[in-house]
Amino acid sequence: MENFNIDTAVLIDLAINYGTKLLAAIVTLVIGLWIAGIITRVVKRLMERGKVDPSLCGFLSSMIAILLKVLVYITALGVLGIEMTSFVAILGAAGLAVGLALSGTLQNFAGGVMILLFKPFRVGDVIDAQGFIGSVKEIQIFVTILTTPDNKTIIIPNGPLSTSSMTNFSTQATRRVDWTFGIAYGDDLDKAYEVLDRLIAADERIHKDPAPFRALTALADSSVNIVVRCWVNASDYWPVYFNMNEQVYKTFDKEGLSIPFPQTDVHLFNEGGPLATISTVSAAPAGSAPANDSGDGS
């Protein structure tokens, strides 16, 4: 009977000690999960109000919910009296090992988060990045997908895309078109100006404000170069550029203005013999073209 009384006392003592801890752990778990749910919903609502990308919003909400739940479970186990120091250390070491193994992937993930948050470009924009030019088809967490003018699919990791320079051709409503036209030495410069002014005025897509600009830019080796700059709507950039090239080529010839191309004269003197002259002509006409950016097919 005495032994039974001792065992009963021990059981009661254990029940009081561990029962209190178990009750506290359950309360901690219930309240902790409730608070974690509230925090997750608040964060999600704030991201939705901030117009964060839906895919990023869902992904970050899930990550926050998982992290908060893990913290709640660890806290509840600690309240129960289970030693969590070693478990946390092992978990941290495992996290470090996984992070080192997936360093490139994590960099792309971080880059995707930055792109989706700050929106340097959007779906449909035409960009020049990482040596590729194309229209943004899709922005994912780890990669961005472009479609090139010749309908190729380019997949660019978000890590380098978010940390390197990029040109976005779609952010501005208007763009400046630049040409360089060459005429031969001896041609009438004022007449060339008059022809260019007439061609510019005939194209209604060219804006009057800012006013078109043209000037003599260089006395080159084989030509007198005239620079022309006009402002157009971004969507009219390539149609105006190609049309002006065609009109200048046709009109200069009719107006008696020649478009020269580089050439070199080599004079050979033969002692006691006649003078020999050899001319070499290159195939490239004077002038320059802007960089291709929006699918012109060239």
pTM over 0.75: no
> In whole angstroms, what is the distance from residue 142 CA to residue 119 CA?
15
Spacing of C-alpha 175 from chain mean position: 19
Overall fold of domain 2-101? Helix Hairpins (1.10.287)
Q: How many residues does the chain have?
A: 298
What tokens were used for 244?
Answer: 């002006």
Q: Which of 79, 17, 288, 66 is nearest to 179 (CA)?
A: 288
Least confident of 52-61, 95-104, 112-121, 268-277: 268-277
Residue type, 145: I
pLDDT in tens, 21-47: 778 878 888 888 898 888 888 888 887
Half-sphere exposure of 102 (CA within 13 A, CB side): 12
> In whole angstroms, what is the distance from residue 192 CA to residue 206 CA?
19
| Backbone phi and psi for residue 295, each to the nearest 5 degrees, phi listed first | 85, 50
> In whole angstroms, what is the distance from residue 131 CA to residue 278 CA?
42
169 CB-near residues (< 8 Å, 6+ apart)? 125, 126, 127, 128, 175, 234, 293, 294
Count of beta carbons in the 10 Å neighbourhood of residue 226: 21
**Candidate CATH numbers 2.40.128.120, 3.30.70.100, 3.40.309.10, 1.10.10.10; the one for domain 174-288:** 3.30.70.100
> In whole angstroms, what is the distance from residue 269 CA to residue 276 CA?
7
Higher per-residue pLDDT: 294 or 270: 270
Position 134 scores a pLDDT of 93
pLDDT in tens, 75-85: 887 777 777 67
| Enclosing H/E stretch for 241 | helix 237-254
Check whether domain 120-168 has CATH 3.30.565.10, yes or no: no
Could you list the beta-strand ranges (E) of 159-212.
Answer: 167-168, 174-183
What tokens were used for 18?
Answer: 């561990």
> In whole angstroms, what is the distance from residue 4 CA to residue 243 CA?
106
Domain boundaries, the chain: 2-101, 120-168, 174-288
Q: What is the mean pLDDT of the chain?
A: 81
Residue 12 has pLDDT above 80, yes or no: no
Could you list the beta-strand ranges (E) of the chain.
Answer: 126-129, 132-139, 143-147, 153-157, 167-168, 174-183, 213-219, 224-233, 263-269, 275-281, 287-288
Q: Do domains 120-168 and 174-288 have the same CATH topology?
A: no
